[in-house]
Structure 1
């Protein structure tokens, strides 16, 4: 094997003893191999540690992913328990409490990026967000929403539940 780099030479221009003695050269190469093996093992261990920490972080993220949502639901639960604790309340009072609890729930859902899908009548039917239950004759344009039977919901721009709708049939 030839190299383009010159061999180290002593002051007289002759190769040093390290280059001429094969045992010294082998010992130097073995030392270099040991250093490289050590560096490789350390790098491999570091990669394994990073992978293990990442797996632990992912497991924790999955385990506690609903923590913020659960915290947002606690006031709703408190309101419902308060309503149950007052069995002799007037219907108007209970209805007022139900409306307040619904507002709390809607606010908690919105804070957690759960958005309502509630298309207005006449809105173009979107199969990505709506589920047609039936087609009915209507005075409006074909393939538009006539009525919403059940609201749908998005979570972070992904359909959690499509809105159940009736659609105008072609004339």
Structure 2
């Protein structure tokens, strides 16, 4: 080999080595960046998980605190049950109204006056039928258990008796 060929061979080898070293360096940088991103994502997931758990605890505490006055009034009614039995019924009616107000404030108002309305499986749960010549077939004849919530978000459907015609 001549001296010129040795120099060209060395340059080619050096270029290849530089390219391989540069590629290895880039791979190491990308691997490091990927690991850091994966760690950040895992930390973010853990933080969001803690935030969701905290928000749930806060919401449960908020809902429970809205029910405390209802519980307080029920306890007062029980205290007066023996000494003033005639006032207990009035007190229970007031506590019932207070409970309905709490539910409505949470977005689940009591559904009223459903008798005569068309049966809707999204809002009603049919538990029985009743032959009724005055009401149209397929309408609510009697509400056994009230439903709560708005059309867009039902907490509990009303349990109803549905009118039918005699055969």
Smaller-chain TM-score bracket: 0.7 to 0.9
CA distance in 1, matches of 2:145, 2:113: 10
Moved more, 36-45 or 146-155: 146-155
**1:141 counterpart SS class:** coil
2:165 pairs with 155, 166, 170, which one? 170
Are residues 1:130 and 2:129 paired?
Answer: no
TM-score (norm 2): 0.77
Alpha-carbon distance, 1:108 to partner: 0.9
Once residues 44 and 151 of structure 2 are traced to their aligned partners in structure 1, the CA distance between those partners, rounded to angstroms, is 30
How many residues of Structure 1 are paired with residues of Structure 2 in the alignment?
A: 155
Identify unmatched segments of 5+ residues in structure 1.
1-16
Q: CA RMSD in A?
A: 2.6
CA deviation digits over 1:50-89, x for unaligned, max 9?
1111222233344444222101100001111122223444
Aligned ranges 1:1-171 → 2 under 5 Å:
21-138=15-132, 139-154=134-149, 157-171=152-166
TM-score of the superposed pair, with normalisation by structure 1: 0.76
**How many Å apart are 1:23 and its aligned residue?**
2.7
Residue 168 of structure 1 aligns to a residue whose secondary structure is strand
Q: State the alpha-carbon separation in 1 of the partners of residues 57 and 150 from structure 2.
A: 19
Q: Is the 8 A contact 2:141 2:162 kept in 1?
A: yes
